[in-house]
Structure 1
Amino acid sequence: MISAILWIPIGALKAEPTIAEPPSKEEIQDIITTIAASTADSENEEEAGDERMNDAGGAVDEVARALNVADALGKADKLDDIALGLKELDMEHYDDEDEGVEVFSSRIGDLYYPSNDLDPYIKDKNDDDDSEELEDMIINPTDSVVVCARTEDDFSLLEVHILEDVGTSEMNMYVHHDIIIPTFSLSTAWLDCLQGREKGNFLAVGSMEPSIEIWDLDVIDVVQPCMVLGGILEKKKKGKKKSIKYKDDSHTDSVLGLAWNKALRNVLASASADKRVKIWDVATGKCESTMEHQSDKVLAVAWHHHEREILLSGSFDHTVVLRDGRMPSHPGYKWSITADVESLAWDPHTYPYFVVSLEDGTIKCFDVRTAKSESTSDLSSTFTLHAHDKVVTSVSYNVSAPNVCIFNILLLQVKL
């Protein structure tokens, strides 16, 4: 299942991503222990004690396997030396060593050739699989990049897709690399600013948990996020009762929507099932303000591209609300929608317009200039697009190509 998608600005990612350092034994053990504890907390209270013991034993086995992997990673250099030594010994041809070898030979024509250039049996001496793989890993300045959050079998991941030669008959799309994440993702937002880093390529991910994880897209095989905003501080269980202590200013339910403010680069907005919209400072990792939605769960948020204080939010009560941070006492403007809101997006090329994707498979476009008062606006949309037969979970505009959107994983040409 694909739960979220978005475009990455062209040329933003590193041409050659770096490889993450392997985690230490302690880090692996902490990760496994945390996942095992989380799984135990979510188990049904009526499960038999024997099943709980089996789960605990499985967790211990996972820890042991992880520690063995860490040991192997720590010995990687030694293993390389051993492999190189075995290659020099050429044990596969040990029994044939005395056949056809001249003591004072130049070795041309013997069983062993000092280089591939001297071996007549190698036809294409420039063929190198490693160089081809390296070439595939290079991201060209003209490549378009789309990040897709999806769940497959029992794990979730972020896939970085490369689109070559967009707009031509030679267009090619492939997965460049992926990042395995611990929980089912519900929302994503790209940002180029983070604590202690002036410039970079980061992806904020909202999930079923109350925390927001921020991952580095320029690093391959990364296992931990760069930063976590909010989340659970402590869980306690007394008999059948559970108590949860959250971090200061954290959401207390799933994070359903995220939006980065490109004008105020350190600002990130989040929408949650706890009926709140929070504004975060990613330079400090702290929540700066909280806005309450009294009606229902908030599904999506979107900052205006040009007016940096204007924020859209959509909720389960079939409404979209526009608020201006320069007027905190103003209740905002509201539009009625025909179904549950799934995502919001401002048109980066025609600034008065925004689109909202809905549970019924449609996408509606509205003009903010139609808002006449503080009350709900029942004016018709600028256009309605029947994009899918089922829910349209996310919408993303390509800022580099006017009128091109991506809905789920389907490219469409939108003409206003």
Structure 2
Amino acid sequence: MDNENASSSVNFIPCVKWVRKGVAKEIPEKVQLTEEELQEIINQTKTELRTVEADEDSENKGTDEIPVIDASDEYNFDQYDEEKIKLDAMLGIGNLTIYPSNRADPYVTLDGNEDDDSEKEDDVINPKDNLILVGHVEGDASILEVYVYNEEEGSLYVHHDLLLPAFPLCIEWLSHDPGEGKPGNLCAVGSMSPVIDVWDVDIVNCLEPVFRLGRRANKRKETAKYGHRDAVLGLSWNANVTHVMASGSADRTVLLWDLNSGQIAATLSAFQEKVQTLQWHPFEGQTLLVGSCDKLARVFDCRMEDSHRDWSVSGEVEHVLWNHFSPFHFLVSTNSGSVHCVDCRSDAPLWELNAHSKEVTGVALSSQCPGMLMTAGADGKLKTWDILDGKPSLVYSQEQKLGALLCLEACPDLPFIACLGGENKNHNFTVVDAMDIFAVQNRFADRKLVCPVKLEEAAGDGSSEETADDMIESLSLETTDENQPSSSRVTMKSFQSHSLKKGDARGKKKRATKKKYI
């Protein structure tokens, strides 16, 4: 009973991500499964979970023994209740019942022909809508909720949601859809599992990800583990080299994934502690910013193997963020409550700000208002700062009543809008308009808005040939050594050289799956 109460009291938002206007399909596709297909998926998932659980138990015991079932107990009834509770908790399907077509669901009281026009309107996503991808943990269920936000209408509601197989820790949006000839609307989810799931946001009622990056070991199938070995804590899609995504993990590595092949293109292992956060440079496709729990922020030049610079900060790094108004500068927040501003050309941070009394779990710069910085802390406060002159000053501080704040992100289209997630089980998600606050209005209302080069424009056609040399001075950390063997150099061009056969095959499989279920 105590465990049940503990589970029911769990309700928080660990991660959020905005989606730009005009990206989502106006009318998302709907998966329509037959009763047999749904039952097959449920049974298959249960079997996979049993296999994973058996393998993990075997690893923990240090043996390769497979659990033995009493031959006289063919259906394992002795352990049935225990296994059912465990599986239902992981799947979130404890109360799921499939009613045959010839038997009515007693909970459905509406005539099937009755349609609510207002609900139909809510299903449509118009070009002025932003989507917000929200990782939500409620009880034993892990959910990816897709919110619709429209500033003009003042509307915010959940459009649809997806049941996740593991506790979500980070979310990243990407448009690169392997095997497809046009951009997609995808969401990569890093979780307590070492495997990264990538979901299609334009598909409603989807029960499986479009594809996965990495895999667990399976002794029965004699397949080896591939990818990360522990939880995935950070994800960043490279908008300039669109088939590349980086992931950071508690296993103390960063992996660069080739999305076309689903293979690892490079491994960065210069870390002494788990990697918490990372972000590609908004304009330079080869430059990756990484923060870890060893109290260091690192900038990697991925054209060369193990080429990076380090900056020491006052605590374990919670979040890193490039300043899209000043491409040489980036921000680092820590678990000691501080925020540091670093110039890549300097050896020490430019300034340090004591922002919160507890860890700074989120930092966000306005998409168009230079100098406007928002920070979120585990102390429950959202603060707005002005950092334009290099001397940060507090503009406003407000308790959000969301409990400890766990995530913060600024809207990419609206300069004064941001969303927040917290741990208050009764109220844990909100969208805030900073201009509703007089002090913020007074400071920023007259400031000229600037629209930095959009990522889509910076990316060009997505090839690695177009870098920031066309836009800003190079952020190279060192000169490439031409005498170094080419086989030992990690270059962005090498990502283009991967075979596309695997990616094309996966794309065909995905299209076939869509056709089957729609």
**In 1, distance between residues paired with 2:281 and 2:88?**
50
Q: Distance in 1 between matches of 2:86 and 2:250?
A: 31
Give the one of 15, 20, 24 matched to 1:4: 15
The 1:4/1:246 distance shift into structure 2, 3 A limit, reads farther
Mapping for residues 122-137 of structure 1, pairs under 5 Å: 129-137=115-123
State the shift of 1:277 in Å.
0.4
| 1:256 corresponds to which of 233, 242, 255 | 233
Query: Which of 123, 129, 150 pairs up with 1:164?
Result: 150
CA distance in 2 between partners of 1:187 and 1:141 (Å): 26
Is contact 1:186–1:205 with CA below 8 Å preserved after alignment? yes
> What is the Cα deviation at residue 150 of structure 1?
1.4
Render the CA deviation track for 1:221-244: whole Å, top value 9, x for unaligned: 1100010111213157xxxxxxx9
Q: CA deviation at 1:407?
A: 4.6
- TM (norm. structure 2) is 0.59
Query: Are 1:231 and 2:206 an aligned pair?
Result: no
2: CA distance, partners of 1:337 / 1:51 = 55
- What is the letter of the counterpart of residue 346 of structure 1? W
Which residue number corresponds to residue 100 of structure 1? none
Indicate how the Cα distance of structure 1 residues 51 and 272 shifts in structure 2: closer, same or farther if over 3 A, else same.
farther
Task: In structure 2, give the amino acid aligned to 1:195.
Answer: P
The aligned amino acid for 2:142 is S
Amino acid at match of 1:144: N
Higher mean C-alpha deviation, range 209-218 or range 20-29 = 20-29
CA RMSD of aligned residues (A): 3.6
Change (3 A) 1:329 1:276: closer
Counterpart position of 1:358: 334
Q: Partners in 2 of 1:404 and 1:333 — Cα distance?
A: 33
Amino acid at match of 2:296: T
Give the CA deviation at 1:276: 0.6
Distance 2:287 2:87 in 1: 50
1:346 aligns with 2:330: no
Structure 2 residue 174 is the aligned partner of structure 1 residue 199: no
Where does residue 313 of structure 1 map in the other structure? 290
Equivalent of residue 19 in structure 1, options 30, 37, 50: 30
Q: Which whole-Å deviations, capped at 9, do the CAs of 1:280-318 have from their partners, x for residues lacking one?
A: 011111111001033111111100111111101110112
Q: Does structure 2 retain, via aligned residues, the 8 Å contact 1:367–1:382?
A: no
Residue type of the alignment partner of 2:20: P
Task: Determine the C-alpha separation between the residues in 2 that align with 1:36 and 1:357.
Answer: 40
CA distance in 1, matches of 2:349, 2:314: 11
Give the share of equivalent positions with the same residue, in percent.
30
Higher strand fraction (1 or 2) = 1
Which residue in 2 is equivalent to 1:334? 310
1:398 aligns with 2:411: yes
**How much does 1:207 deviate?**
0.8
Q: What is the TM-score with the length of structure 1 in the denominator? A: 0.72
* Structure 2: runs of 5+ lacking an equivalent: 1-11, 62-68, 70-76, 356-373, 381-403, 422-428, 435-439, 448-518
Moved more, 194-203 or 258-267: 194-203
Give 3-state SS (helix, strand or coil) of 2:49's partner.
helix
Superimposed CA distance per residue, residues 232-290 of structure 1 (whole angstroms, 9 cap, x where no aligned partner): 13157xxxxxxx96434x11111111000011111110001111100001111111100
CA 1:246–1:205: 2 relative to 1, 3 Å = farther
Using the TM superposition, give the Cα deviation of residue 162 of structure 1 relative to its aligned residue in structure 2, in angstroms.
1.3
Distance in 1, matches of 2:272 and 2:292, equals 8
Look at both structures and tell me which one has the larger radius of gyration over its CA atoms.
1
Tell me if structure 2 keeps the 8 A contact 1:339–1:358.
yes
Structure with bigger RCO (C-alpha 8 Å, 6+ apart): 2
Matched, 1:186 2:136: no
**Cross-structure match for 2:135:** 149
Paired residues in the alignment total: 346
CA-to-aligned-CA distance 1:66-87 (integer Å, 9 cap, x gap): 9x95673xx48x989xx9xxx9
- 1:110 is aligned to none
- 8 A contact 2:376–2:407 mirrored in 1: no
